[in-house]
């Protein structure tokens, strides 16, 4: 036992000496001077009409280190008082001492931060430098930013649905950059939305692409069981009409449900007994009822396939619609509707109804009195 103890002791000492020698060989990265950042203005009101124009210019002084390295740097933005929790970074370039940010770029950052549109938000910014696996931060500057309500087509992630059907739907056949899109309202790699298909033959086939181009496109794995593979098979349409499609890009799965909508309710001529159906208009890429009489004492909603499973409704509580004013409408099957609310109009008469569902992050409903 004593011999065993001596052997273990000697082995431990040997390992400790080797470990110390390795630690001595490892260089330790230290910041010898802190980075600095300043801006040419501290207040900015963003304007969508000037989306591509610079709005704020930042001057950066990179930190220095005791070792020769090539760090990367960002301007980091955060809501004031959050200690940069859920911050958003803007690439400042490794070798740049000045960098400018446009109205559109800053507005997208404000949107992702959760800043309130059309309101002055108190924002903090700093220079964030990454050196290896370590992060180093500059001084913090205070900004007052008033963002605008962003175009949802630009700020939500999307995939494209090119296919032989797209030309008849108002786009271009088999062209990823000119095809309907499925959006990810939760920005989680799960996409959903509507496409309109006029044929179940070759003219109804489609695939999924990303970044409006073919590299990395996904199609069916050949089993037609809702599984995707890169460069997979074209997906045929099961029926003519509106299709509600969901794609989990990371899990490589998809689903497709036919969902042809109509209006129903006691505000309509046929009451709660039958629907008046929408017609797809490829020129406007919207679903339209050109004329229907609506009373201002009754209620209505929009349902798919003459059934109650899929409905467009207000988010919560009955909502009164005014002629010409677009409102956001919600799909109950997406978990965005509370209870079973309805719509009504403030003035009785004949109405044109338009349903714009091209973006699942921003379904829009418009009623216009004729």
**Residues above pLDDT 70, as percent of the chain:** 92
From the list 138, 123, 49, 52, the residue with the least C-alpha distance to 92 is: 138
SS3 content of the chain, % helix, strand, coil (to 5): 15, 45, 40
**Residues above pLDDT 90, as percent of the chain:** 83
pLDDT digits (tens, 9 = 90+) for 187-221: 999 999 999 999 999 999 999 999 999 999 999 99
- 24-28, 40-44, 98-102, 325-329: which has the minimum mean pLDDT? 24-28
pLDDT digits (tens, 9 = 90+) for 270-280: 999 999 999 99
Q: Give residues with Cβ within 8 angstroms of 119, minimum separation 6.
A: 146
pLDDT for res 295: 98
**Euclidean distance between CA atoms 308 and 313, whole angstroms:** 12
φ, ψ (nearest 5 deg) of residue 302: -125, 125
Residue 12 pLDDT exceeds 60: no
Residue 96 pLDDT exceeds 60: yes
Residue 311 pLDDT exceeds 80: yes
Q: Which two tokens stand for residue 66?
A: 């005791």
Q: Give residues with Cβ within 8 angstroms of 124, minimum separation 6.
A: 77, 78, 79, 80, 84, 140, 141, 142, 143
Is the Cβ–Cβ distance between 138 and 124 less than 8 Å?
Answer: no
**Euclidean distance between CA atoms 223 and 227, whole angstroms:** 8
pLDDT for res 67: 83
pLDDT digits (tens, 9 = 90+) for 31-88: 899 999 999 999 999 999 899 999 999 999 989 888 877 788 999 999 999 999 999 9
Other beta carbons less than 10 A from residue 243's beta carbon: 23
Q: Which two tokens stand for residue 41?
A: 């203005």
Residue 8 pLDDT exceeds 60: no
β-pairing verdict for 241-248 and 228-230 = unpaired
Can you tell me which residue has the tokens 């997979």? Answer: 232
Residue 10 pLDDT exceeds 50: no
Residue 18 pLDDT exceeds 70: no
* Mean pLDDT of the chain, nearest integer: 92
Q: Give residues with Cβ within 8 angstroms of 32, minimum separation 6.
A: 63, 64, 65, 66
Is the Cβ–Cβ distance between 78 and 46 less than 8 Å?
Answer: no
Can you tell me which residue has the tokens 């009451």? Answer: 271
**Euclidean distance between CA atoms 242 and 259, whole angstroms:** 5
Q: Which two tokens stand for residue 77?
A: 């933005």
End-to-end CA distance of the chain: 101
343 or 154, greater pLDDT? 343
pLDDT band at 97 (very low <50, low <70, confident <90, very high): confident
Can you tell me which residue has the tokens 């095809």? Answer: 179
From the list 11, 268, 25, 34, the residue with the least C-alpha distance to 140 is: 34
Alpha helices in 69-178 (DSSP H): 103-113, 152-155
pLDDT for res 27: 61
**Euclidean distance between CA atoms 180 and 168, whole angstroms:** 12
Residue 123 pLDDT exceeds 90: yes
Is the Cβ–Cβ distance between 126 and 38 less than 8 Å?
Answer: no
pLDDT for res 70: 74
């Amino acid at each position: 036992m004593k011999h065993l103890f001596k052997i273990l002791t000697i082995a431990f000492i040997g390992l400790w000496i080797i470990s110390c020698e390795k630690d001595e060989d490892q260089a330790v990265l230290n910041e010898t001077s802190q980075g600095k950042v300043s801006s040419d203005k501290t207040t900015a009101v963003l304007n969508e009409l000037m989306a591509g124009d610079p709005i704020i210019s930042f001057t950066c002084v990179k930190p220095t280190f005791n070792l020769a390295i090539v760090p990367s740097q960002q301007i980091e933005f955060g809501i004031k008082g959050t200690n940069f929790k859920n911050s958003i970074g803007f690439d400042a370039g490794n070798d740049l001492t000045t960098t400018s940010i446009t109205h559109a770029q800053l507005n997208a950052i404000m949107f992702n931060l959760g800043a309130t549109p059309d309101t002055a938000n108190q924002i903090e910014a700093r220079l964030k430098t990454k050196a290896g696996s370590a992060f180093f931060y500059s001084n913090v500057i205070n900004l007052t930013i008033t963002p605008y309500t962003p175009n949802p087509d630009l700020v939500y992630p999307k995939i494209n649905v090119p296919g032989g059907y797209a030309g008849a739907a108002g786009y271009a056949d088999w062209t990823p950059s000119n095809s309907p899109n499925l959006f990810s309202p939760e920005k989680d790699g799960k996409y959903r939305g509507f496409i309109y298909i006029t044929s179940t033959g070759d003219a109804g086939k489609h695939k999924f692409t990303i970044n409006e181009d073919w590299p990395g496109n996904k199609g069916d794995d050949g089993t037609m069981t809702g599984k995707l593979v890169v460069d997979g098979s074209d997906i045929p349409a099961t029926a003519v009409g509106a299709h509600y499609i969901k794609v989990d890009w990371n899990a490589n799965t998809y689903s497709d449900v036919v969902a042809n909508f109509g209006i129903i309710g006691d505000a309509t001529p046929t009451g709660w007994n039958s629907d008046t159906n929408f017609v797809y208009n490829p020129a406007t890429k919207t679903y339209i009822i050109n004329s229907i009489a609506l009373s201002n004492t009754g209620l209505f909603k929009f349902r798919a396939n003459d059934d109650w499973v899929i409905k467009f409704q207000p988010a919560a509580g009955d909502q009164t619609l005014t002629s010409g004013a677009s409102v956001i409408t919600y799909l109950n099957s997406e978990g965005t509707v509370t209870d079973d609310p309805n719509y009504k109009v403030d003035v009785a008469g004949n109405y044109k109804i338009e349903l714009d569902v091209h973006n699942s992050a921003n379904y829009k409903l418009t009623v216009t009195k004729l």
